[in-house]
Amino acid sequence: MKPKVTSRSLRLVICLACLLGALCSAGAAQTGAPAATPPPATVVMGTGEIPVTTSSPEARALFIDARERLDRLREREAAALLEQAVAKDPDFALGYLYLSRAQGSPVESRKLLDKAVALADKSSPGEKLMILISQAERNRDRAKSLELYHELIAAYPRDKWIRARLGSTFINRGQYADAVPELTKAIEIDPSYPLPYNQLGYAYRYLENYSKAEESFKKYIELLPNEPNAHHSYGELLLKVGRYDEAISAFTKSLSLDPRFYRAYIDMGACYVFKDQPETARQIYRKLHDSSDDDRDRRSSHFAAAVSYVDEGKTDMALAELQQAHAYAEKLKDVEAQSVDDVIRGRILLNAGRIAEAEESLRKALSVVESSQLPDSFKQNSRREHLYFEGRIALAKQDLPTAKAKVEQLRQQVEAAGQARYAVGS
């Protein structure tokens, strides 16, 4: 009899999936010292949208097109357009900012954001604030990021892109109830703007208001019936509520619109994992690996296969897949992803009762971060996370005093950092 999805393995699957999603946007090692922060922007109050400052009308047109494609998760297309835009205007700060978001390589993304920061003084005050927000987010400075968002929205309360962006930021932080009013406001500003319907669907999904989520996703599809992401987002909701066959149909539709939309492969495979058909899931992951020309997609295929083996309780096979994913992280020079791999490996080993190996992997994860040029704020988060794992390991060794001491250290550090919402997992 095949193993069923236990609550523990389900939590691990969700944890791995969340971490995998984070890899797509979190970034990796810096190639040099962080760009200096320009002085704060002075914003004149207004009611319209943030201007797009460029000396080239052609660059402006390319940027507008790219921004819409980026909203639809067509990153490769957006990146190609934005590269043309900054070639036409090398001082186009906002162009570099958006190119950093569209660029798949974490290393290149950081370089591009540094370029935007360096050019920020040549842009309008609103654009400069947008750049400083992205810099704060990269540095994991949540308080600064939110402070700048509030300043920006006070100056441009009718900018739908900023409202939607703030809503997305709240979702990424797990503040789903806070996301809803921002996304709703974006829709009020422009009911034909598709992105906030998609993000609102996710906010409601996480709030377990599934009827509202379905309503939002269906509206997103109505506005963008030929966009793969619209069908994929609805498929994720169907996967969440256990309507697996309907979800598979949605993911199939997404891939029919864009065979390179790798997210649909990953989630279609997850449907088969939950249907107790893990080998079918892995066939889908192999198809993604073999059909993609992008090492990030290939990495994702191995990562997803690792999840499927964890769910079956096949620890060694999961670790083998994770090692192949790790090889791509090394090839991509993605230090943050390498650290995540070591953390996941440690968690898998810890859950399998292989305590000494888990301890070694988790120490390696922290060492990789400490020796990198990642922001200090990221390193501090990693140290706090490591305290949590040290407590878990102490518990596994039945060393209750040490476990309590580690938890107390973690509590004090979290309070000192002002991170009341810091989640240590389970």
What tokens were used for 325? 């994913």
Residue with tokens 């002085």: 39
Q: How confident is the model at residue 103 (pLDDT cuts 50, 70, 90)?
A: confident
| Residue 161: Cβ within 10 Å count | 19
Q: Would you say residue 12 has pLDDT above 50?
A: no
More confident residue, 1 or 369: 369
Residue 28 has a pLDDT of 32
Q: Is 47 helix (H, G, I), strand (E, B) or coil?
A: coil
Least confident window among 25-39, 143-157, 384-398, 399-413: 25-39
* Residue partners of 316: CB distance under 8 A and separation at least 6: none
Residue 345: count of CB within 10 angstroms of its CB: 23
Residues with Cβ within 8 Å of 88's Cβ and at least 6 positions away in sequence, in order, are 56, 58, 59, 62
Rounded mean pLDDT of 56-81? Answer: 94
Residue 418 binned pLDDT confidence (cut-offs 50, 70, 90):
low
pLDDT of residue 13 exceeding 50, the answer is no
All structural domains of the chain:
33-158 (1.25.40.10)
Report the pLDDT value the prediction gives residue 272, as an integer from 0 to 100: 97
pLDDT at 10 > cutoff 50: no
Q: Please list, in sequence order, all residues whose beta carbon lies within 8 angstroms of the beta carbon of residue 320, skipping any fewer than 6 positions away.
A: none
- The stretch 349-353 carries a mean pLDDT of 94
- Please state the rounded mean pLDDT for residues 26-53: 51
- CA distances to 20, 80, 136, 270 from 152, rounded to whole Å, are 31, 28, 14, 39
Please, what's the largest Cα pairwise distance for the chain? 67
In this structure, how many other beta carbons lie within 10 angstroms of the beta carbon of residue 121? 12
The one-letter code for the residue type at 32 is G
For the beta carbon of residue 423, count every other beta carbon within 10 angstroms. Answer: 8
pLDDT band (50, 70, 90) for residue 141: confident
Burial of 416 (0-12, 13-18, 19+ CB in 10 A): exposed
User: What element of type H or E holds 3?
Assistant: none
Q: How confident is the model at residue 374 (pLDDT cuts 50, 70, 90)?
A: confident
pLDDT tens readout for residues 169-191: 999 999 999 999 999 999 999 99
CA contacts within 13 A on the Cβ side of 187: 19
